[in-house]
Structure 1
Amino acid sequence: MPDSLLPYVEVNPAQEADACVIWMHGLGDSGHGFAPIVSQLALPQNHRIRFIFPHAPERPVTINGGMRMRAWYDIKSMDFNSRADVSGVFESASQVRQLIQDEIANGIPAQRILLAGFSQGGVIALHEGLRFDQRLAGIMALSTYMCEPEKLAAQAHTANTSTPIFVAHGEQDEVVPAFLGNAAYKVLKENGYNCTWHTYTMQHNVCLAEINDISAFISRVLPLQ
């Protein structure tokens, strides 16, 4: 991969890829954390989807005593209205944009690229996906929230207004309460986005029912060609 790109774990299909899922992990994790989910999705054996799981840069995280860990942005406060370091969100979103553009340069069109993210990674998936200037296949926002929702209308690009968006959350999530995910969903609906809301009996993680729904979503927005 080019030196300027985020490092990542990749899971390639048996055949040449004609589609791509770029999936961002949560705070303190790495691209290795979600890579095993590909086999659990039970996609058709002849699928041609390349999965990319980038590693967030290491940085000090204020709420964890300044400890360095992989993080898409600093979390300076437990106050949900100001917990995300906005400059860090924009920086990481720009790095994810480079991954998208690299896939496009390698022959996979934007409309065959899906952005996904869990927790912090979901913030980045939503942030970049709604601002990207070409239509994407879809966006998955898992157990997450939206950074600066009040600025969405002014900053978003119209290219992805009709792009399917899968918003999902655990009803027992104590890390990112479900009301934050639902608030993001409501902002999307109010702004005319094509989004769906899914809840599961789980905490800040994924479960089998959610994995099955994710698989169905991926198969719908990235059908075999």
Structure 2
Amino acid sequence: MSYSNSSMGSGSRTGRRAFEFGRTYVVRPKGKHQATIVWLHGLGDNGSSWSQLLENLPLPNIKWICPTAPTRPVALLGGFPCSAWFDVGELSEDAPDDFEGLDGSAAHIANLLSTEPADIKLGIGGFSMGAATALYSATCFAQGKYGNGIPYPINLRTIIGLSGWLPGSRSLRSKIEGSNEAVRRAASLPILLCHGICDEVVPYKYGESSSHCLSSSGFRYLSFKTYEGLGHYTVPKEMDEVCNWLQARLGLEGSR
């Protein structure tokens, strides 16, 4: 995993902390622009590596926006600073969530999508910590607000999470069930989760429990795909699944 300390781009200020987001890479559609998806990298990575992979997918109608997370101290790495969408100490059901960092990154992503044309379908995807941030954005969309109560402004049409987990899972169901509008939005949002059985970084059980939590919280339009022998990386078969999912769910023209 590579570390990036780029300080280009816009900053996010949430409460006491302020972090500068790194460089954003954009892959322009080769055909008719029908959808824009923000794709989020994993811990210690940057937007460039994923932009190169996404550029080669047979999805000419999608514009990809690949931002780079801020460089911040990460508790999981003993406080070592690297690019991270939020702070994380350990992966467990009982670990505290960095809602301040999550809200800051979710707001940055929403801001990237806010200038897209009105007729363009919008989505968020990601790998590992990027997947976790995408799923957190999905919960903000359903509730109509960030964790800090500020309104969530984007109408999301799809979410993709590869080798990730769901932050804020403990309280999600009660938050969604407390609002009829949140129940409606959760049920309407297509989510694709993919996870390798042999993932040694984000164990498979966290992908599985995230899927169960989302489903029980009202995200009924959810597909959970598992891959035998797959560790903490992606393979062509998985990316084919992503392509097929996006083409079908977003109604893209001539993408395959």
Give TM-score scaled by structure 2 length.
Answer: 0.77
- Confirm or deny: 8 A CA contact 1:30 1:70 kept in the other structure: yes
1:13 and 2:2 matched: no
1:167 and 2:193 matched: yes
1:139 partner letter: I
Coordinate RMSD, CA, aligned: 2.3
Separation in 1, partners of 2:175, 2:108: 18
1:128 and 2:137 matched: yes
Q: What is the Cα deviation at residue 172 of structure 1?
A: 0.4
TM-aligned CA distance change 1:53 to 1:148, over 3 Å: same
Structure 2: gaps spanning 5 or more residues: 1-7, 13-20, 145-153, 177-181
1:55 and 2:68 matched: yes
Look up the match of 1:198.
225
Look up the match of 1:81.
94
- Confirm or deny: 8 A CA contact 1:10 1:52 kept in the other structure: yes
The percent of aligned pairs where both chains have the same amino acid is 29
1:97 and 2:110 matched: yes
SS of the aligned residue for 2:107 comes to helix
> Moved runs in structure 1, 4+ residues, more than 6 A?
none
Separation in 1, partners of 2:91, 2:137: 23
Q: What is the Cα deviation at residue 60 of structure 1?
A: 0.8
TM-aligned CA distance change 1:108 to 1:23, over 3 Å: farther
Separation in 1, partners of 2:223, 2:36: 21
Structure 1: gaps spanning 5 or more residues: none
2:170 partner letter: E
What count of residue pairs does the alignment treat as equivalent? 218
Give TM-score scaled by structure 1 length.
Answer: 0.87
Separation in 1, partners of 2:77, 2:246: 34
User: For each residue in 1:45-77, what CA deviation from the matched residue of structure 2 results, as whole angstroms up to 9, or x when unmatched?
Assistant: xx3211001110110112213221100111223
SS of the aligned residue for 1:36 comes to helix
Look up the match of 2:39.
23
SS of the aligned residue for 2:114 comes to helix
1:149 and 2:169 matched: yes
